[in-house]
Amino acid sequence: MNLSYRNIQDNDIEIICNFPTSEEELFYMYPKAHFPLDKAQLSDAISQRKDSIVVICNDRPVAFANFYEVEPCTRGSYFVL
């Protein structure tokens, strides 16, 4: 298995929308969304977050992640949630 990652691309969004197959799965992925996840909801979330990436396996996205809150720490580094 060959895994890699890259920044999200527009053509990934529809694939990612099919990741959650139930309301419960979507809740753990994106609690504010309504099932089924659609391109508008996911695009809105991506626009409000930072560093959206996909994990690629066999030239296809298999995982998605991003940061929803980045705050400076006292030592000049960043705390990521």
The domain tally of the chain equals 1
**Rounded Cα distance, 50 and 53, in Å:** 9
User: Containing domain of residue 20, as a range?
Assistant: 3-80
Q: Tens of pLDDT along 7-55?
A: 999 999 999 999 999 999 999 999 999 999 999 999 999 999 999 999 9
Mean pLDDT of 51-62: 96
Distances 10 to 28, 30, 61, 72, 77 between C-alpha atoms, Å: 23, 19, 12, 30, 31
Residue 74 has pLDDT above 80, yes or no: no
CA 30 and chain centroid, separation? 9
* pTM summary value: 0.82
Single out the residue of 21, 20, 11, 6 nearest to residue 53, CA to CA: 6
21: CATH: 3.40.630.30
